[in-house]
Chains A and B, each alone.
Chain A
Amino acid sequence: MRILLCTDGTPLAENAVRFGALMAQAGEMAVTLLGVAASPGAEALVRASLARAQTLFPARAEEKIRTGRAAAEIIAEAEGGAYDLLVAGSRGRRGLARLIFGSVASQLARYARVPALIVKGRRTQVRRVLACTSGDVRGERAARWGGQIARWLNAEVTVLHVMSQMALSPQAKLDELGETAEQAIAQSTREGKHLARTLELLREQGAAANTRPKLRHGLVVDEVAAEANEGDYDLVVIGAHEAPEMPEGWAWLKDYVFDDVADQIISAVNRPVLVVRGK
């Protein structure tokens, strides 16, 4: 597997490189260090950062330097280089600042074709992983990655599904709306079956010993953030925003119709988030 560790020379980016190095070594991944300079004048800063990053690895890692807008350069490199994972830091901008200045992390999560690990905060180890599943194939991908990382680092994995549903009609089985994960699995509800299947996937990954299911009820973003904080997880794994196919000629509507929950989770959670996309 190949990993792309990205830096622009700032302390936040170097923190992300250190976290990525942890993943790379545990997963025995081939490392490429990518330095992105905003302008030719910033290249010296970036080169110095790459030199510091090289000290994290026993053997010299491949180095590349690009100049331009960070998100665009990283995405271009990721698309051209057959990487399995890219790692970048995040300033953690929110609200108006995010609206005005944008977010590199947000663009990477949205447009990178490979899983993107957005690093926030300072973590030196990964003991607890929170794999969030939406109940479909994206959730299974997230669970697989969570399981894989947990196996590399001998970490615990919690598989989380958030039910934000409310009863609308007499057809609703009201008991399901307050269940725990164990109750849902025992009663083979749709959510329970999905959690059971995801746990099975983790067993296949070899992460069975330290896995547990969790079912929360509430707003998706808030419950993921709350669980991440309460459980003091070192890594949160989520599926990327992938809107369903629209009828021919209406594909442009996707961005305006469907809420990008992945982006909201990245913004709300103050710890590393791995956004999983692809097969």
Chain B
Amino acid sequence: MSTTSVWTRRIKRLRRINPRKVAIFVVSLFLFILAIQLLKSGAKVLVPFIREGLAVKNAWNALGFGWLFAYVVLSGSPVAATALTFFDAGAIDRMGTFAMIAGSRFGASFIVLGLGFVYAMRGHERKVSVAMGLLSFLVTYTIYLPALGVGYWLLQSGALDWLHPTAAKSGLGSLMDVVFNPLVGGANATFAAFLPSTWAQMGVFGLGFSVLWYSLNLIDHSLPDMKLKESAFGGMARLLYRPVVTFALGAGITSLTMSVSVSLSLLVPLSARGYIRRENVIPYIMGANITTFVDTLVASLVISNPGAFVVVLVEMVSVAIVSLVILLLAYRPYERAVLRVVEVIGESRRNLAVFLLVIVGIPVALMFVR
């Protein structure tokens, strides 16, 4: 192949890049980092509130707190990032951070379920409307529960502590200080001009959370238009892929989208009718639940707290271990059991009501564990 044609192809590829989306991504990344710095700055004042006011004193409380927090904000990523800033501020310890991040996933998986309720209220059959949401929730719950145990052991034993990033103060860390410190300082000064000290810091924290929320939404808009046509995956809606393949697909796509619900929605073009096979979706969600933490991992690097990085890594590794054990050793029984539970929960209003009571009641109850 001639040099000219190689360069022609490269130029054609470059022309396909959407400069608007690149700009949005750069802006969203900037805002993401700014948000983390603002949260970090404002988190210290919240330590007494979290420990005494909300009584988050142990990992169970943190699990419930993260869970309920994610329900309120209808997203897991901001809650997970906030957990890291609380850890950095000393409000919660490593295990508490781990649990709060896990709780954020429990809460986040409610979003898909909520969408199902909307369909049900519009008159569609309840069982069919809520099936995907229930499935997403149950897969997350059944994976994360044993993952809590694996993660606890990994944190207690320090097995992954050696993986923490080395000092980031040189190079990137210094650059971030130069760029963001003035902005964070400006925000602190602005709030302090109008509010007493404690409220000012809470205001900075609130601003940070809002910017974080916005930046994560902006990242979704910066994703390339993935023209995942049915032909690209050989008719995904019709074919059954090996579970480990859709697991890898879920992990791969979510490493880019960083959101399980966005990753699930990307499958829609693969089926013009808006369906997906049960056999394909469960391992997909399992894979997605691992790499959904990519943004949280980035946040841990931005915070420049090696301990935070290790906690997120432990989260990903423990979920990956449990997922792979199930996938390789007990997938078919697991698949049947989860689908059977989905069916039972969806078959009557009473069962659904009990389920909702449980998923709200449990995190509330966890807040009172001593």
Enumerate chain A residues within 8 angstroms of B339, measured Cβ to Cβ.
218-219
Q: How many whole Å from B267's CB to the nearest CB in chain A?
A: 6
Q: Are A174 and B276 in contact (CB under 8 A)?
A: no
Enumerate chain B residues within 8 angstroms of A170, measured Cβ to Cβ.
119, 274
Q: How many whole Å from B337's CB to the nearest CB in chain A?
A: 12
Q: How many whole Å from A127's CB to the nearest CB in chain B?
A: 30
Q: Are A256 and B238 in contact (CB under 8 A)?
A: no
Q: How many whole Å from A20's CB to the nearest CB in chain B?
A: 30
Q: How many whole Å from A138's CB to the nearest CB in chain B?
A: 11
Judged by a CB distance under 8 angstroms, whether B132 is at the interface is yes
Report which residue of A168, A171, A257, A261 has the largest number of chain B beta carbons within 10 angstroms of its beta carbon.
A168
Q: Are B125 and A166 in contact (CB under 8 A)?
A: no
Give the residues from 223 to 276 in chain A that come closer than 8 angstroms, CB to CB, to chain B.
244, 256-259, 261
Judged by a CB distance under 8 angstroms, whether B265 is at the interface is yes
Judged by a CB distance under 8 angstroms, whether A188 is at the interface is no
In the complex, A259→B243 CA distance in Å?
A: 8
Judged by a CB distance under 8 angstroms, whether B277 is at the interface is yes
Q: Are A136 and B242 in contact (CB under 8 A)?
A: no
In the complex, A169→B237 CA distance in Å?
A: 13
In the complex, A219→B279 CA distance in Å?
A: 7
Enumerate chain A residues within 8 angstroms of B124, measured Cβ to Cβ.
174-175
Q: Are B245 and A257 in contact (CB under 8 A)?
A: yes
Judged by a CB distance under 8 angstroms, whether A125 is at the interface is no
From known contacts A218-B339, A219-B336, infer whether A244 and B239 are also in contact, taking CB-CB under 8 Å: yes
Enumerate chain B residues within 8 angstroms of A136, measured Cβ to Cβ.
238
Q: Are B276 and A168 in contact (CB under 8 A)?
A: yes
Q: Are B234 and A259 in contact (CB under 8 A)?
A: no
Give the residues from 224 to 257 in chain B that come closer than 8 angstroms, CB to CB, to chain A.
234-235, 237-243, 245
Enumerate chain B residues within 8 angstroms of A174, measured Cβ to Cβ.
119, 124-125, 128-129
Report which residue of B119, B239, B243 has the largest number of chain A beta carbons within 10 angstroms of its beta carbon.
B239
- Give a binary string over B301-323; 1 marks a CB under 8 Å from any A CB, 0 the rest: 00000000000000000000000
Give the residues from 156 to 176 in chain A that come closer than 8 angstroms, CB to CB, to chain B.
164-175
Q: Which residue in chain B gives the minimum CB-CB distance to A245?
A: B234
Enumerate chain A residues within 8 angstroms of B274, measured Cβ to Cβ.
167-173
Q: Are A257 and B279 in contact (CB under 8 A)?
A: no
Q: Which residue in chain B gives the minimum CB-CB distance to A134?
A: B238
Q: Are A164 and B273 in contact (CB under 8 A)?
A: no
Q: Are B273 and A173 in contact (CB under 8 A)?
A: yes
Enumerate chain A residues within 8 angstroms of B278, measured Cβ to Cβ.
164-166, 218-219
Judged by a CB distance under 8 angstroms, whether A178 is at the interface is yes
Q: How many whole Å from B190's CB to the nearest CB in chain A?
A: 42
In the complex, A192→B52 CA distance in Å?
A: 62
Q: Are B268 and A171 in contact (CB under 8 A)?
A: yes
Q: Are B279 and A178 in contact (CB under 8 A)?
A: no
Enumerate chain B residues within 8 angstroms of A167, measured Cβ to Cβ.
119, 128-129, 131-132, 274-275
Residues of A within 8 A of B (CB): 134-136, 164-175, 177-178, 190, 218-220, 222, 244, 256-259, 261
Some 19 contacts from A to B, beta carbons below 8 A apart, are: A164-B278, A165-B276, A165-B277, A166-B131, A166-B275, A166-B276, A167-B274, A168-B265, A168-B275, A170-B274, A171-B274, A172-B273, A172-B274, A173-B274, A174-B125, A220-B279, A222-B336, A258-B242, A259-B241
